[in-house]
Amino acid sequence: MKINVITVSRQFGSGGRTVARMIAQKLGWAYYDKEIIEQLALKSGFDPDYIREHSEYSASNRFAYSFVSPYVGSMSVNDYLWCEQRKLILELAEKGPCVIVGRCADHILKDHHDCLNLFIHAPLALRAKRVVELYGESETKPQKRVREKDKKRAANYLYYTDREWGKAENYHLCLDSGAMGIERIVNTVVNMVQNPAPKEDFFYHL
Amino acid sequence: MKINVITVSRQFGSGGRTVARMIAQKLGWAYYDKEIIEQLALKSGFDPDYIREHSEYSASNRFAYSFVSPYVGSMSVNDYLWCEQRKLILELAEKGPCVIVGRCADHILKDHHDCLNLFIHAPLALRAKRVVELYGESETKPQKRVREKDKKRAANYLYYTDREWGKAENYHLCLDSGAMGIERIVNTVVNMVQNPAPKEDFFYHL
């Protein structure tokens, strides 16, 4: 089957976002990352900064909400944003070939058999170095910053998908950008999209 | 850096062994799988069948041994086989370009920066189907057979490496053979070996 959608999950600082943008550019496909936040802001009326903070890292705020009775029919803002984001991602995937960054898109599109799911990771030390180069120093030590962000992403993913973030079997292709280099990852994926699997292969669907 | 060794970890029934053999054939590299068992049998004097059973699936037998006092200086047969196997794998990696299947070789060669570590997986239903086609029916249902074998591999890997089997960040490249097809995985890896990462890339070592 021809690949029409690529989702890119990534460890913080691994260059996954760069990989996603470069793949979209090379293939001439639409690229959805901040665009999702902007569209969600338009639809929901929430501030883009609020959405940015809560759409990928919300699971850690759930403890307080767990005291709210489930019988009052209420919904946390995070869950509301999740539902809207989910609808939006399903719409975007129908619009045409595209690359989608993060936001549990791999799980949301799990029944789309034309969707290739990537997970980009890299050794902690390299990511910490890259984060400082890209975003500058902060009060928190870079390795801790990286670990904390990953922990939040993992918690969010587990909460909404009931699956383990970064477990190989949840993705079609997991790549270490520290070992392979961003350029080569991009070329590998573009090559896969442009050359479908041979028909005589034992099992494949992409 | 030029890749000289490829290790292939794999879920049972995923075709990982086939992938490994095809990569070795295409590259003209040595291929070590059963050869390790034969060499270990020669060195240790143990029966090859015994080694086959205990060299990748031994962690589940450890409970009984945990009652043996650590002060008598004794060692379980499994641990002895592990040590011998480890030495052998380190020797094989020095001998020349090769592909090594299973046996925690990714961890054993973790300080070899010319080593590319693969993990091959596939959806459970496909693997169960493939196992029946390859090895025939057995008393245990195919999905259970597959799950049990994976569980043993995971336990063995955890025991000897202190790392989680099948977690993306423990490998350079994890590939879903069910989605990608064996032929395409082989071509992707061979292509990687033959085309080193461009020097200007942000971070890479292979």
pLDDT on residue A202: 54
> Residue A198: pLDDT above 90?
no
User: Is residue A204 a part of any domain in this protein?
Assistant: no
> Average of pLDDT values for B21-25?
96
- Please state, for a pLDDT cut of 90, what percent of chain B lies above it: 41
**What is the spatial distance between Cα A162 and Cα A169, in angstroms, rounded to a whole number?**
14
Most confident of A191-200, B24-33, B43-52, B107-116: B24-33
Chain B residues near any Cβ of chain A (below 8 Å): 11, 15, 116, 119, 121-122, 126, 130, 166-169, 171-184, 188, 191-192, 195, 197-198, 200-206
Residue B200's pLDDT band, with cuts at 50, 70 and 90, is low
Q: Are B36 and B89 in contact (CB under 8 A)?
A: yes
Counting the structural domains of chain A, the total is 1
> Average of pLDDT values for B187-192?
88
Residues from chain B that touch A204, judged by Cβ atoms under 8 A, are 177-182, 184
Q: Are A115 and A93 in contact (CB under 8 A)?
A: yes
Query: Is the pTM value of this prediction over 0.80?
Result: yes
B180/A173 Cβ within 8 A: yes
User: Is residue B202 a part of any domain in this protein?
Assistant: no
User: Is residue A169 a part of any domain in this protein?
Assistant: yes
Which domain covers residue A152, as residue numbers? Answer: 5-194
Q: Are A159 and A59 in contact (CB under 8 A)?
A: yes
User: Is residue A114 a part of any domain in this protein?
Assistant: yes
Q: Which of B4, B7, B176, B190 to mutate to test the interface with A (most CBs of A within 10 A)?
A: B176
> Residue B8: pLDDT above 90?
yes
User: Is residue B14 a part of any domain in this protein?
Assistant: yes
Q: Are A8 and A16 in contact (CB under 8 A)?
A: yes
Nearest to B121 by CA among B171, B77, B175: B175
Q: Which of A133-142, B53-62, B82-91, B194-203 has the lowest mean pLDDT?
A: B53-62
Q: What is the mean pLDDT of chain B?
A: 84
Nearest to A135 by CA among A17, A9, A8, A7: A17
**φ, ψ for residue B118, nearest 5 deg:** -110, 150
> Residue B56: pLDDT above 80?
no
pLDDT on residue B53: 74
CATH number of the structural domain spanning residue B133: 3.40.50.300
pLDDT on residue A99: 96
> Which tokens hold the place of A138?
């902060």
Residue B203's pLDDT band, with cuts at 50, 70 and 90, is low
A184/B174 Cβ within 8 A: no
Give DSSP secondary structure letters for A90-146. Answer: HHHHHHSSEEEESTTHHHHTTT-TTEEEEEEE--HHHHHHHHHHHH---SS-HHHHH
User: Is residue A36 a part of any domain in this protein?
Assistant: yes
Partnered with residue A5 across adjacent β-strands are A98, A115
Residue A131's pLDDT band, with cuts at 50, 70 and 90, is confident
Which stretch of DSSP H or E encloses residue B23?
helix B16-27
User: Is residue B137 a part of any domain in this protein?
Assistant: yes
Closest residue in chain A to residue B129, using alpha carbons only: A203
Residue A71's pLDDT band, with cuts at 50, 70 and 90, is low
User: Is residue B27 a part of any domain in this protein?
Assistant: yes
**What is the spatial distance between Cα B190 and Cα A188, in angstroms, rounded to a whole number?**
11
Q: Which of A169, A190, A191 to mutate to test the interface with B (most CBs of B within 10 A)?
A: A169
Partnered with residue A119 across adjacent β-strands are A9, A174
ipTM of this predicted complex?
0.85
**Residue among A15, A167, A198 minimizing CB distance to B167:** A167
Residue B70's pLDDT band, with cuts at 50, 70 and 90, is low
